[in-house]
Amino acid sequence: MSVVKVIEVIASSETSFDDAVKNAVAEVAKTIKNIDSVYVKDFKCHVQDQKIISYGVICKISFRVES
């Protein structure tokens, strides 16, 4: 029987939402193996002087637990 665990992480990028999601996966992958999927729960941007300065995402990352 497989067990899947889900963690929630927040990540950001100065470039794009896509890059923010990639940053989330890359950071989690440093300590967790068997990542199966990423669900992007929410998006947000930080704005300064009427311009977007960073993109943020809240992600749920699923991975299989080894027995």
Show the tokens assigned to 15. Answer: 């470039």
Q: Which of 58, 64, 53 is nearest to 21 (CA)?
A: 58
Number of structural domains in the chain: 1
Q: φ and ψ at 5, to 5 degrees?
A: -110, 150
| Distance from the first to the final alpha carbon of the chain | 9
In the DSSP assignment, the letter for residue 14 is S
- Residue 9 — pLDDT band, cuts 50, 70, 90? very high
| Average pLDDT taken over every residue of the chain | 96
- Residue 50 — pLDDT band, cuts 50, 70, 90? very high
Print the domain residue range for 59.
3-65
- The CATH number that applies at residue 34 is 3.30.1660.10
Give percent helix, percent strand, percent coil of the chain, each to the nearest 5.
Answer: 20, 60, 20
